[in-house]
């Protein structure tokens, strides 16, 4: 399994909703901080988006899409000079998981979806991304995103059997397409000096081969020499570049990835700690438990108990929404 597929396979959706906006004239709305990630497509017209803390607003054209990764407050406007008002009083909720906002006409139309993913892999994936990923309308990913968002909204409205599973798959499709677009931009434009994280390693032609090998066979007893050969680099040059771009030494990164895999199985399977340990290349349960506690700050069994309690609490909270 390639690295991107491997990470995404660990994400679990807690809840989601769709939003449809129709706007006309001069307008500007502030949107509050919300947990989760947000996909939006401009179906008609154009507008501006300004994310809190980001220095440069983005101009969105018809056909463009964007992903917001950190739940930061943001502003949508017809023009940057228009004073913004709080959007809260303008939204309507035709259904518990649907929001609509109609204001002044339909010069601009947007459709969106917000997904709340649970688990440590969410932070592992999204922490390396910018707060806003803008996908141009002429890119191949944009047409897929627009289709998926429209399909997602239709699934919520039609209430057909299998809706939850369909929407989880649609969320993954949208996330993959946005990340592909962002990865292509990194490969085309190069990395910035401050870029650091596993995702940026995928944009490096040499490191991506080593990362792919680690994710494809996490239980293998890899050495830095073997990975350097896959990257077509000397051992010292590879180790230095891996640490500079990925943010961790190769073996440290491998251990971290193994623990994310282990955490997912502890939470979502009935496998014993020993079974998980051996499947990830550890010769003893105690060696695995020591590594797990060092990375995850809890023993495997403590983690399993705490995750079970979290899942139960989330389920009760979601049932009240």
Order across the sheet with 132-135: list the strands.
92-95, 98-103, 12-23, 108-118, 37-44, 65-68, 132-135
Q: Same topology for domains 3-189 and 198-308, yes or no?
A: no
Domain boundaries, the chain: 3-189, 198-308
What is the CATH code for 198-308? 1.10.10.60
Question: Are the beta carbons of 251 and 294 closer than 8 angstroms?
Answer: no
Question: What per-residue confidence (pLDDT) applies to 15?
Answer: 82
Q: How far apart are CA 252 and CA 254, in angstroms?
A: 5
> What integer pLDDT is reported at residue 201 of this predicted model?
92
Note the pLDDT tens digit of each residue in 167-198.
888 888 888 888 888 888 888 888 887 778 89
Whole-angstrom distance, CA of residue 213 vs CA of residue 306: 32
Per-position pLDDT tens, the chain of length 321: 788 888 888 887 878 888 899 999 999 999 999 888 899 999 999 999 999 988 899 999 999 999 998 889 999 999 999 999 999 989 999 877 889 999 999 999 999 888 887 766 677 777 778 888 899 998 888 889 889 888 888 887 787 888 878 888 888 888 888 888 888 888 888 888 777 889 899 999 899 999 999 999 999 999 999 999 999 999 999 999 999 999 999 999 999 999 999 999 998 888 999 999 999 999 999 999 999 999 999 999 999 888 666 555 555 544 444
* Global pTM value: 0.80
Q: Give the percent of the chain with pLDDT over 90.
A: 52
Looking at domain 3-189, its CATH architecture is Sandwich (2.60)
């Amino acid at each position: 399994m390639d690295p991107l597929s491997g990470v995404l396979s660990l994400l679990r959706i807690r809840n989601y909703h769709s939003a449809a906006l129709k706007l006309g004239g001069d307008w500007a709305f502030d949107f509050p901080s919300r947990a989760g990630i947000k996909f939006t497509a401009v179906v008609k017209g154009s507008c501006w988006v300004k994310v809190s803390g980001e220095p440069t607003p983005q101009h969105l054209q018809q056909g463009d899409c964007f992903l917001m990764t950190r739940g930061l407050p943001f502003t949508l406007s017809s023009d940057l000079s228009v004073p913004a008002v709080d959007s809260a009083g303008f939204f309507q909720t035709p259904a518990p998981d649907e929001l609509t906002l109609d204001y002044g006409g339909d010069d601009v139309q947007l459709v969106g979806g917000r997904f709340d993913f649970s688990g440590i892999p969410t932070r592992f994936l999204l922490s390396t991304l910018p707060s806003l990923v803008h996908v141009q309308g002429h890119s191949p990913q944009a047409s897929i995103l627009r289709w998926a968002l429209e399909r997602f909204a239709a699934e919520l409205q039609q209430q057909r059997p299998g809706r939850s599973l369909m929407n989880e798959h649609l969320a993954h499709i949208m996330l993959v397409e946005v990340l592909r677009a962002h990865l292509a931009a990194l490969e085309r434009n190069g990395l910035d000096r401050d870029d650091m994280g596993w995702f940026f390693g995928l944009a490096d032609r040499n490191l991506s081969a080593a990362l792919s090998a680690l994710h494809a066979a996490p239980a293998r007893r890899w050495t830095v020499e073997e990975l350097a050969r896959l990257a077509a680099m000397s051992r010292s040059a590879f180790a230095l570049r891996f640490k500079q771009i990925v943010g961790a030494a190769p073996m440290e990164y491998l251990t971290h990835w193994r623990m994310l895999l282990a955490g997912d199985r502890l939470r979502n399977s009935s496998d014993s700690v020993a079974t998980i340990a051996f499947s990830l290349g550890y010769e003893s349960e105690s060696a695995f438990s020591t590594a797990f506690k060092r990375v995850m700050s809890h023993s495997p069994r403590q983690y399993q108990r705490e995750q079970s309690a979290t899942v139960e609490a989330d389920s009760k909270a979601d049932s009240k929404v």
